[in-house]
A and B are shown apart, each in its own frame.
Chain A
Amino acid sequence: MSTSDKRRDDSRASAELSELTLQSQDTDIVTQAPTRAQTDRIRTTDAKSQGRLIRERFFRHKGALAGIALLVAIFLLAFTSIGYAGIPGWWDKQYDVLAARFNEGRPTLTLWPFSLGEHPFGQDVLGRDYFALTMRGIQTSLIIAFVVGLVAMVIGTTVGAVAGYFRGWTEAALMRFTDVVITIPTLVIAAAVAGIVARHGVIPFAIFLGLVTWTGLARLVRGEFLSLREKEFVESAKSVGASSARIIFRHILPNTVGVIIVSTTLAISGAILLETGLSFLGLGVTAPDTSLGKAINDNRSALSVRPWLFLWPGAFIIGIALAVNFIGDGLRDAFDPKQTRVKQ
């Protein structure tokens, strides 16, 4: 194209600019040509990327912000207080050190005037510092929850994406396999396997839990792929010769990120509760290590005498699960592209 052609096109383009100030209105029988200044302003405006829009929407969601604040606070508290993997924390007591019971092991925490005292959450029957024990429990529970979320996300997304994109016998085989995994009751399989797995540590236990909880995500992702693969932009990519891998990863997957993230957060809060349940039944984490569920189980007989042994881990379980659910809600609202603003 010659320069004169370009100039002509420029002037035509500027005539078009009245069209672009309105997002969805196509009523553009052009009546006035915008001034040079207007043109420049429009050209230099930095467009909002999808990611920035999502961030903005997320940060307008008050529940999600509160959830994040709470989760970060719990996370920092648990990992800085008693330290992790040999790194010492600021709390001077260990969760596995027995000591003489002080004032029948009652909590020394007072809110006004604020003071932690010797044993803020009290001591358990054996005289262990219950604050350190709870912190250790939170650490275990959080690690399990996030590993489960990660494993479930990877397996679920892969199975769902492959089944939804390729259809045919691939889909039939994968989805029947998913059905089989769903029909096996988690508790029964956990009872059979978890005892063995748990002896090898927390991480293998978490991976095992991930291996049985990916099914919901796989179905959701498959559903998304089924509808997205029929969209014209996918056909458009096929028509220019994009490979299957490129279509899956570059074109379809980014459009399912919302679903994946949201159901992963929900899977995480589910995993916290599942781990709690299994540990409560004695199928999960074993002594001397502890988790929130195990702490509750160990002290369930003490509910009427020493309720704090029950309350503290219980409160943290609820806090973590709620925080993660709120974050999930916020993410779902932020990722919904049809939504222009967040309802309060």
Chain B
Amino acid sequence: MAAHSSTVISDEQSRPADGPILAVEGLGVEFNVDNEWVMAAEDVSYEIHPGEILAIVGESGSGKSMSSMALLGLLPRNGRSSGSARMLGRELIGAPQSTLRRVRGKEIAMIFQEPMTALNPVLTVGEQIREAVEQHTELSPAQAKQRAVELLRMVEIPEPERRYDNFPHQFSGGQRQRAMIAIALANDPMLLIADEPTTALDVTVQAEVLDLLRTLNKRLNSAVLLITHDMGVVADLADHVVVMERGRIVETAPTAQLFAAPKEAYTQQLLSAVPHLGSKVGGVLADVEVVDGRLSIHEEYAETSLREQEGHAASGVVPALELRDVDIEYPGRFRQPAFKAVNGVSFTINPGEVLGLVGESGSGKSTIARAVTGLIRTSGGTVGIGGTDITKLSTRQLLPLRKKFAIVFQDPAASLNPRLSIGDSIGEPLLLHEKPGRAELDKRVAGLLEDVQLPVGFRHRYPHELSGGQRQRVGIARALSLRPDLLVADEPTSALDVSVQAKVLELLQELQRERGFACLFVSHDLAVVELLASHIAVLNKGTLVEQGSTEQILKYPRDPYTRRLLAAAPVPDPQVQSLRREQRSAILAAGNAE
């Protein structure tokens, strides 16, 4: 079936054999803010050849998205572009809208970050693909429908004839992104611009979508311009890399060369800031060997490591946090049944220990974090904090215990009250529990700001004046203000750029060492968890599938889900990544065979 569809697609257009598909030279983008032109990108030059995947990498504000939007003339109203971008010799910059409209969708297509909002919820997925087909071709409706089904088959959606009539909400996140890719490919574009195509997806789904992009690119011989912040994705997919910083290109190199020997200081810093899965414990999936595409697992490794561990098990210590058979249900409404988000989860964290709770979206990891801090009621089991079960306590009885634990939230922009100054935000827990005098409170807040390495003068500022990294530091200071025995960190760095993430993680590690609090670190990112946690618990659909020491989980996982998760996480190293791809397909094949 796949072969059939590919012949249909590739016969339609003959492509020029040589020369770049897109040649960008001296591209600049500016925005008019308060009657001043502010530079967003400057002197951007690169070429993309047929069959090539070029990645533009940069952190937020680097101008990577805007320079690509300028190619299609899709800048916001207050933007303007200069320089040159030639698509097969035709100039795009400054071209009239009517020309650009013909280019968009037909020759250059885009895939956006959020498949949830990019599809129209009131039209079926098939109709939306058919619409894209009809936009630029003269096909009859029946032919267009046939073509849409073909496209769905090409992006590996099972039962495309039936799924054609499904609405977007009946597709999973990964399938929606596949449908978006099908729409983008509807008219055989020569260039596909993928703007953070997998950022909103889970790692295992991300790996599938990346695989699809890779095979499609090879098969159709089109070019892909990949815009991303994720070095792992770059290592997995790209042939060439362009690194951008503050609107300028810092370095351009073939992928292998860039990762092996980055020339520029910024690239080096960027690469070193990316947490590298397996760097601390020395490799991942060490017991998995791929022989002729088949999986063989050395069970004995895991047993040895387990035996070693048993000797170290602590005894007679009151754990900082102990969950026993915890169930959490979201109550149903009317005839809707209750939804069980967490099912029989048990784990313990000893004082001074960091446990990483890992899972994909919907696994219930944030729900557990909220239950531990008394924000959600559990429906079964016990949650012991410092030996006291908090599930049976009333709000009033819980109040004195709240000094013992604190939580840091994911989104630093949403977790600080915009109407409170930084000093008031940090001082609030102190004010509620210890009721210190004004001078004493000021002193304590100043001390906390110093602890999280922010200037003391920040206490008079407001959250909107701070950057994301600074806000998260404030969140940490607030959480640590009462010197808790247990810190719950719910994805504290996933909203931050890598370089900022690296610093916040470093700060967390340092504070943890200094103060010795126990920490429940919730994250979807295995590499980040590896850096901080001594133990890892893996959560899948509300159930704990595996737990153990970091080394054991990363090197000798025993649950198939953990293996899939580990194999799917992209590593910022092209060579390792291609090996891991093999491993992954073998693990998936083994999973399917079972």
Contact = CB atoms under 8 A, between A and B. Distances in A.
Asked if A pairs with B, the answer is: yes
Contact of B464 (A6, A26, A337): A337
Given A45-B457, A232-B409, A240 B432 contact: yes
Contacts of B419: 50, 254-255
B196 interface: no
Nearest to A24: B467
A239 B34 contact: no
Contacts of A233: 414-418
B500 A26 contact: yes
Contacts of A19: 467, 469-470, 500
A232 B496 CA distance: 17
A239 B375 contact: yes
Contacts of A45: 457
Contacts of B433: 240-241
Interface residues of B, number: 64
B454 interface: yes
Contacts of A238: 374-375
Given A47-B462, A240-B406, A25 B60 contact: yes
A255 B462 CA distance: 13
Contacts of A236: 407, 409, 415-416, 475, 478
Contact of A27 (B62, B409, B420, B456): B62
A118 interface: no
A239 B402 contact: yes
A24 B398 CA distance: 38
Contacts of B399: 241
B111 to A, nearest CB: 25
A25 B500 CA distance: 11
B159 interface: no
A87 interface: no
A49 B468 contact: no
Interface in B419-472: 419-421, 428-429, 432-433, 447, 450-451, 453-458, 460-462, 464-470
A22 B273 CA distance: 21
B212 interface: no
Given A6-B450, A240-B428, A240-B429, A26 B468 contact: yes
A29 B460 contact: no
A20 interface: yes
Interface residues of A, number: 47
A171 interface: no
A47 B461 CA distance: 5
A29 B273 contact: yes
Interface in A44-91: 44-50
B301 interface: no
B370 interface: yes
B34 A341 contact: yes
Contacts, number: 155
Interface string A230-259: 011101111111100010001100110000
B455 A13 contact: yes
B453 A12 contact: yes
Interface string A10-38: 10110011011011111111010000000
Contacts of A39: 455
Nearest to A16: B453
A176 interface: no
A237 B34 contact: no
Contacts of B458: 47
B17 interface: no
Given A17-B455, A27-B59, A22 B375 contact: no
Contacts of A49: 421, 460, 462
A10 B455 CA distance: 8
A121 to B, nearest CB: 47
Contact of B467 (A22, A31, A235, A254): A22
A251 B470 contact: no
A239 B60 CA distance: 31
A43 B457 contact: yes
A242 B428 contact: yes
A111 interface: no
A43 B456 contact: yes
A60 B119 CA distance: 41
A183 B500 CA distance: 55
Interface string A211-230: 00000000000000000000
Interface stretch (B178-186, B264-272, B302-310, B575-583): B264-272
A281 interface: no
A1 interface: yes
A47 B421 CA distance: 10
B245 interface: yes
A179 interface: no
A250 B431 CA distance: 13
A98 interface: no
A16 B420 CA distance: 23
B553 to A, nearest CB: 28
- Chain B CB count within 10 A is highest, among A29, A238, A246, A251, for A29
A9 interface: yes
Given A9-B453, A29-B273, A42-B457, 19 more contacts: A20-B467, A24-B467, A25-B61, A26-B497, A26-B499, A27-B245, A27-B499, A29-B245, A29-B266, A31-B266, A43-B455, A43-B457, A49-B421, A236-B475, A236-B478, A237-B417, A241-B399, A242-B428, A254-B420
Interface of B: 34, 59-62, 245-246, 265-266, 269-270, 273, 370, 373-375, 398-399, 402, 406-407, 409-411, 414-421, 428-429, 432-433, 447, 450-451, 453-458, 460-462, 464-470, 475, 478, 482, 496-497, 499-500, 503, 514
11 contacts: A23-B466, A26-B467, A26-B468, A27-B60, A29-B245, A31-B266, A233-B417, A239-B375, A246-B432, A251-B417, A341-B34
Shortest 10 CB-CB distances between A and B: which pairs?
A232-B415, A47-B461, A241-B402, A254-B419, A240-B429, A43-B457, A25-B61, A232-B414, A233-B417, A232-B409
